[in-house]
Amino acid sequence: MPLSLDDVVRASRAQVSSRLGTDTVILELDDGVYYGLDDVGSRVWELLKEPRTVRELRDAVAAEYDVDPERCGADLLGLLSEMAERGLVEVVGAPAP
């Protein structure tokens, strides 16, 4: 099921991560694969330490990086979907029907 702006997401508990300068390296513990994030991805990862809606993440990133919210939302949904597929992000809440 695709993510929406109203889904609540957080970093998976099955990982460890470390900041390396402006980048972040994440080790997914179930499959032992390392992943890397650039500075913007690292900021998203930092925000994912607490459960947040995708909309809240979008608003924070769009404001901090002075980017169009619509473009930011589309890019963020893509990133979070990929991270969820790899077990790095958990969806912990969804919009009410």
pLDDT tens-digit map of 67-87: 999 999 999 999 999 999 999
> Which residue(s) pair with 20 in the sheet?
23
Kindly tell me the sign of the dihedral angle through the C-alpha atoms of 91, 6, 74, 23.
negative
Please give the mean pLDDT across all residues of the chain: 93
- Examine residue 97 and state whether it is found in any structural domain, yes or no: no
pTM here?
0.90
DSSP label at residue 7: -
User: What's the domain count of the chain?
Assistant: 1
Q: Report the candidate in 91, 71, 67 with the shortest Cα–Cα distance to residue 81.
A: 91
Distances (CA, A) of 42 to 23, 75, 94, 96, 97: 6, 14, 24, 29, 32
Which domain does 40 fall in, by range?
8-90
Q: What distance in Å separates the CA atoms of residue 17 and residue 34, rounded to the nearest whole number?
A: 9
Q: Which CATH number does the domain housing residue 45 bear?
A: 3.90.930.60
- Examine residue 37 and state whether it is found in any structural domain, yes or no: yes
Q: What is the pLDDT of residues 18-37, one digit of tens each?
A: 999 999 999 999 999 999 99
